[in-house]
């Protein structure tokens, strides 16, 4: 089967061109040995079945990070190259084009965002550009589909330039300048509302309040979508499933197999959260609790990506995150984690180095409260006074910053600079957003669900063999001395590994004083994330780095909890 590779700079609409060319059967994969994604799809073009690969965005074939290394490897798979170029930044994009031509593969150029170039006063003579490059050139507006039909019809015109001379970098830029001057004319146009908005959202003074508003709005939207799906779709579905689960329970009868598959029967019924069975809790947690928020997060993420706002958010936050050993892209795991830590952990793969991914995932599990944690904090401490609620959230924020500063110094590895092209704002395409969201949700179902299931299985086995109760007895004396909370709270902390809001229900009957409840809630928020996030961290970081991350979380939770205990409880 013929392979076509899409190559281009980041943030130029390459994925939209890919979406226009391919159908629904697309696969997002990790390049072997990396956390870098590329997308593959199939299409029938000019009567021929072809495979189309959307390579990671790259500025050059001389890679400076892992994503660009993968892009170079993927290029080698292709028999034909579609070079997607930003028509509003022709000169900068042509450097990659010149490098691609030297690979002597059949190539066709796509001048994407043609409408934005026109609005910006940029006119490009397509025919003259074809003469200079000696390859077919097609102007497109991928968002609306304009030019895609012409692109498909001209694929057969792409031929390798076997006599193409290899130029030095300096000579490439000289040639690019000559071509650009000949084919492009720029006329002055007065700033539009969009261009003024674009400038305002990138400056710290005006961009910061906009960023906070966008993050809060995103969080609210995701929570609304997640809770809506749970209430109106998933909970009714699991109620329909309940009679079948009860029938299986009756058929199995008491015993270890029942405990593993169905779990505990509580008050004569199955509690999908507390039963801990593979066919009850094991199915409910990933599908009934996590998946609804995953859908909301990936939908919101696609909107932020395709609108052009995400690079601005990353640029605004870059200075802060560099001090914490990451760069501006770390804002994505942070704000995704505010709704659900699972997609936050999954998004750490967008960071280039092991050091960055380790720090981002550790800080996420340590101090980024998901919806369940936030609800827990408000629900437990609200009756004691809003000051205690603020104290816990302020502590989490300080821990995030302090732990990041320490990990930046302690963890070996590189934390490279972020190089982002700030694209113009665009109107996201509805079908493209839906397709991108479906691709990611399907990947989650195929790749992450098995790890969540295994995590539930592990907790289930530990409960069944009595390991959890044994751990609780061992640590009760220490917890009473160091945190000044009763030994019974240890069981709640262990259950919090499975679900934080369930652990709250076990704290409330203990009759804790305000200071004790603040300490217990803070420790419950800081130590290990839920089992679903923990399972995903194993997949993203590996077993050893996940264990190191867990050790950092446990030590930090105990130190911060102990400090709060001596400050609040006499």
Q: Residue 371 CB: number of other CB atoms within 10 A?
A: 19
Cα separation, 377 vs 374, in Å, equals: 5
Find residue 138's DSSP bridge partners. Answer: 110
Q: Which residues contact 364 (CB under 8 A, 6 or more apart)?
A: 333, 334, 337, 341, 344, 345, 348, 529, 533
pLDDT of residue 97: 95
pLDDT of residue 451: 65
Find residue 122's DSSP bridge partners. Answer: 186
Contact (CB, 8 A) for 512 and 524: no
pLDDT of residue 80: 94
What is the residue extent of each domain of the chain? 2-189, 205-568
Q: Residue 437 CB: number of other CB atoms within 10 A?
A: 20
Q: Cα torsion for 516, 521, 527, 530, to the nearest 10°?
A: 140
pLDDT of residue 479: 81
pLDDT of residue 36: 59
- Closest C-alpha among 97, 93, 80 to residue 160: 80
* CATH number for the domain running over 2-189: 3.40.50.300
pLDDT of residue 404: 93
Cα separation, 422 vs 310, in Å, equals: 9
Q: Which residues contact 515 (CB under 8 A, 6 or more apart)?
A: 484, 565, 568, 569
Contact (CB, 8 A) for 393 and 369: yes
Question: Whats the size of the chain, residue-wise?
Answer: 570
Q: 398-453, pLDDT tens digit by residue?
A: 999 999 999 999 998 877 666 566 667 777 878 778 887 887 788 777 766 776 67
pLDDT of residue 32: 40
Phi and psi angles of residue 496, each rounded to the nearest 5 degrees, phi first: -60, -25
Helix (H) or strand (E) holding 30: strand 26-30
Enumerate residue ranges in the chain where pLDDT < 70.
Answer: 23-36, 189-195, 273-276, 339, 371-372, 375-376, 416-423, 447-448, 451-452, 455-456, 459, 468, 495, 497-506, 508-509, 570
Contact (CB, 8 A) for 517 and 507: yes
């Amino acid at each position: 089967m013929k392979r076509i590779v899409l190559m281009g700079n980041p943030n130029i609409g390459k994925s939209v061109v890919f979406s226009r060319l391919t159908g629904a059967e697309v696969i997002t994969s990790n390049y072997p040995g990396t956390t870098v994604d590329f997308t593959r799809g199939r299409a029938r073009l000019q009567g021929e079945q072809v495979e189309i690969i959307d390579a990671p965005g790259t500025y050059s074939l001389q890679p400076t990070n892992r994503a660009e290394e993968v892009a170079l490897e993927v290029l080698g798979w292709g028999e034909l190259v579609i070079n997607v170029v930003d028509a509003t930044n022709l000169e900068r994009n042509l450097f990659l084009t010149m490098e691609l031509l030297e690979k002597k593969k059949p190539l066709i150029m796509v001048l994407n965002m043609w409408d934005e170039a026109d609005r910006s006063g940029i006119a490009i003579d397509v025919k003259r550009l074809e003469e200079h490059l000696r390859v077919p050139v097609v102007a497109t507006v991928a968002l609306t589909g304009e030019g895609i039909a012409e692109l498909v019809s001209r694929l057969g015109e792409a031929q390798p330039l076997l006599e193409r001379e290899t130029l030095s970098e300096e000579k490439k830029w000289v040639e690019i300048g000559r071509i650009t001057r000949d084919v492009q004319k720029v006329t002055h146009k007065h700033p539009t509302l969009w261009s003024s908005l674009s400038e305002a959202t990138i400056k710290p003074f005006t961009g910061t309040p906009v960023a906070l508003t966008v993050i809060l709005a995103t969080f609210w939207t995701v929570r609304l979508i997640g809770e809506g799906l749970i209430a109106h779709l998933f909970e009714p579905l699991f109620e329909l499933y309940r009679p079948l689960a009860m029938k299986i329970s009756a058929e199995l009868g008491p015993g270890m197999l029942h405990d593993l598959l169905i779990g505990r029967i509580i008050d004569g019924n199955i509690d999908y959260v507390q039963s801990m069975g593979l066919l009850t809790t094991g199915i409910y947690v990933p599908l009934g609790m996590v998946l609804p928020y995953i859908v909301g997060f990936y939908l919101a993420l696609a909107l932020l990506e395709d609108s052009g706002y995400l690079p601005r958010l990353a640029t605004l936050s870059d200075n802060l995150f560099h001090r914490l050993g990451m760069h501006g892209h770390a804002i994505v795991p942070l704000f995704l984690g505010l709704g659900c830590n699972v997609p936050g952990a999954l998004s750490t793969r967008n960071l280039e180095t092991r050091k960055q991914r380790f720090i981002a995932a550790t800080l996420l599990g340590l101090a980024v409260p998901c919806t369940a944690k936030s609800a827990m904090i408000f629900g437990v401490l609200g009756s004691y006074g809003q000051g205690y609620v603020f104290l816990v959230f302020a502590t989490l924020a300080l821990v995030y910053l302090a732990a990041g500063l320490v990990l930046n110094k302690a963890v070996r590895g590189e934390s490279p600079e972020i190089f982002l092209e700030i694209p113009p704002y665009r109107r996201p395409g509805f079908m493209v957003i839906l397709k991108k969201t479906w691709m990611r949700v399907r990947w989650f179902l195929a790749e992450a669900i098995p790890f969540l299931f295994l995590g539930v299985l592990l907790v289930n086995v530990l409960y069944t063999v009595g390991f959890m109760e044994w751990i609780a007895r061992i640590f009760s004396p220490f917890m009473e001395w160091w945190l000044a909370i009763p030994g019974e709270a240890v069981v709640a902390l262990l259950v919090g590994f499975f679900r934080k809001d369930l652990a709250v229900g076990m704290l409330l009957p203990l009759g804790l004083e305000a200071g004790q409840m603040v300490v217990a809630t803070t420790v419950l928020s800081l130590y290990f994330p839920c089992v679903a996030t923990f399972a995903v961290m194993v997949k993203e970081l590996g077993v050893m780095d996940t264990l190191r991350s867990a050790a950092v979380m446990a030590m930090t939770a105990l130190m911060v909890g102990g400090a709060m205990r001596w400050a609040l409880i006499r």
